Chains A and B, each alone.
Chain A
Amino acid sequence: MKIIVCVKQVPDTATKIKVGTDAKTIDSSGIEYVISPYDELAVEHAVQIKENNDDIEIVAVTMGTTDSDKILRHALAMGADRGILIESDVNCDSFCTAQALANAIKEENADLVLCGVKAVDDDCSQVGGILATLLDMPFIWSAAELDYEENKVTAQNELAGETYTIECELPCLVSIQKGSIEARINSLISIRKARKKEVQNVSPTLSDAVIQTEKLELPAAKVGGRIVGEGPEAVTELFKLLREESKVL
């Protein structure tokens, strides 16, 4: 069985975002890029399936600048077998990204495709669903738990206090949310081994943009915020303000 995991490099979540000179993209100077945390969990799920079953190959795929090799190596160190890097400097929308991914992995004939529920940079939550549609696969979204058994996956997803259990025969695509498992920490040996694993660099097939970015700006700083008072004595005044001034109670 073949599992493909889609990963993306994103600024470390502790990064302070600055707007670039084009006023459309971020200023990437000094930013440390990491694998998007939900994608890392998707890799972990794939590796755990591999550990519990025979004959499983995991291919990690990403689209991004040549630097993205770093997060592919991270996935390889976790236990993926090989990588595909779709090299692109273009900032493209979710459809364009999904199309390039679909073209690059179509011939792999994957049984199971995994990705994170969203990338923690553009927060779009779109690529998984679009990719599933382009690959003509059913799409399970936001799975917190995932089990694989005999050509079938069972996923669990919690929504508004209800836990849904969902089943699908392979092939299918599942987007991963945080659940009970944690991504493993790579050992030095696994990092060293990952350097020797195969990463194939391919050129993207770029389709026309369907969404255009017009502007990127920082959120307006809060004005008029104030300290109501100190200690429990301030509570009465706070509730008065919430009722009468901001009218949220």
Chain B
Amino acid sequence: MSGILAITEVKESSFRKASFEVVSEAVRCAQKLGTEATAVVIGSNVESIANDLGKYGVKNIVVVDDSKLENAYTQPLAEAIEQIIKAKGSDYIFFPATLQGKALSAITAARFQRAAVSDCTETLCDNGELSLKRPVYAGKAIETVKPVQKPAFVSLRPNVFPAEETTVEAQVEKMDVTFSEKAFQIKIVNVEKAEEQKLDLTEASVIVSGGRGMKGPEHFHLIEELASTLGGVNGASRAVVDAGWRPHKEQVGQTGKTVSPQLYVACGISGAIQHLAGMRTSKVIVAINKDKEAPIFQVADYGIVGDVFEVLPVMIEEGKKLN
């Protein structure tokens, strides 16, 4: 059987959200290509959660459940996927374009003398073949590419593809795979949890970002508060990261993170080309800036011209009413 494999990502015995999007998109593409989708779950103690994927419309689920994978790094996952691809004769392999997913797609594809088409935002099915659209130059341009050899490897940007729920009875197949000794050369020796668990910017569905207009690091509590009220995470422009107000991991833009949330709120950000590139694929963009000529308003769906220090407190109050 040819078909599409949807690789899921599991963390502490639950699926990362992007997994459902990948499974759901694989089901939709399989329908258009006239083939079948198979979800793949790999890890230690994962068999019990595999069935959950059925509600995203996938009929076949392959599970590799091996205690060796407890606390394992990426390499053994690639070895497992290689064996599944060979057993199933798959044509397309979809990964979530998380940091891990992109790395995993590269080392898996390389085993087949391929490269993955990374971080795609649209799939196009034509004549039984798949083409993909993906932002390049951090979103300043969009390219359409086609994998010309199969199996073909693709990663899908989180938050872009809907995870549609439908009820199907999924069949779970347990598969045994072998691992080389070399697969475990890299060891995760420590995992330190931050006090507050926050989603990575690339996976958040709501992002509230602050820029120079916030006037100083002491005012970013407004950004954090609005983000948490709206159930999202906070981001920052390059200018404030360079100024040392915020850590680099919060930077949105070409040399930071490229994001596509459902809602992006830019506060006191003028909209340098770098920043616009990193966030313009967001579904809905809100800009708050006191300069009505700021470039950010050209990409915004809704703008408020005003002082962030007057507007943000009212937004936080309004946000609280939603809960």
Contacts and interface: CB of A to CB of B under 8 A. Distances in A.
Interface of A: 11, 13-17, 19, 26, 37-38, 93-96, 98, 120-130, 132-134, 138-142, 154, 157-169, 172, 175, 178-179, 207-219, 221-222, 224-232, 234-236, 238-239, 241-242, 246, 248-249
Interface stretch (B42-50, B114-122, B167-175, B208-216): B114-122
Contact of B145 (A37, A126, A208, A211): A211
A236 B314 CA distance: 9
Given A123-B134, A169-B185, A219-B141, 5 more contacts: A120-B254, A125-B118, A130-B110, A142-B99, A228-B304
22 contacts: A13-B138, A17-B140, A93-B115, A126-B102, A126-B106, A128-B106, A129-B104, A132-B110, A133-B106, A139-B75, A161-B199, A165-B188, A166-B189, A168-B187, A178-B256, A210-B147, A219-B141, A225-B299, A227-B304, A228-B302, A239-B319, A242-B286
Nearest to B201: A160
B185 A163 contact: no
Interface string B75-104: 100000000000000000000000110111
A167 B255 contact: no
Contact of B300 (A122, A166, A215, A222): A222
A130 B302 contact: no
A142 B197 CA distance: 20
Q: Which residue, of B254, B300, B310, has the highest number of chain A Cβ atoms within 10 A?
A: B254
B1 interface: no
Contacts of B110: 95, 98, 129-130, 132-134
Contacts of A95: 109-110, 113-115
Interface residues of B, number: 95
B73 A166 contact: yes
Given A123-B118, A142-B99, A211-B117, A216 B143 contact: yes
A23 B180 CA distance: 45
Contact of B186 (A138, A175, A235): A138
A98 B189 contact: no
A209 B303 CA distance: 44
B103 A141 contact: yes
Given A130-B109, A138-B186, A216-B142, A121 B193 contact: no
Contacts of B146: 211-212, 214
A212 B144 CA distance: 9
B182 A130 contact: no
Contacts of B137: 11, 15, 17, 26, 120-121, 123
B292 interface: yes
Contacts of B102: 125-126, 141
A139 B302 CA distance: 43
B148 A209 contact: yes
A206 to B, nearest CB: 13
B293 to A, nearest CB: 11
A162 B11 CA distance: 12
B177 interface: no
Interface string B266-299: 0000001110000011011110000010000111
Contacts of A232: 306, 310-311, 313-314
B281 to A, nearest CB: 8
Contacts of B292: 227
Contacts of A154: 189
Contact of A249 (B141, B230, B255): B230
Contacts of B189: 154, 165-167
A162 B304 contact: no
Contact of A13 (B118, B198, B255, B280): B255
A124 B141 contact: no
B8 to A, nearest CB: 16
B220 to A, nearest CB: 17
Residue of A169, A179, A219 with most partner-chain B CB within 10 A: A219
Contacts of A165: 188-192
Contact of A161 (B182, B197, B307): B197
Interface in B236-282: 248-249, 254-256, 258, 262-263, 272-274, 280-281
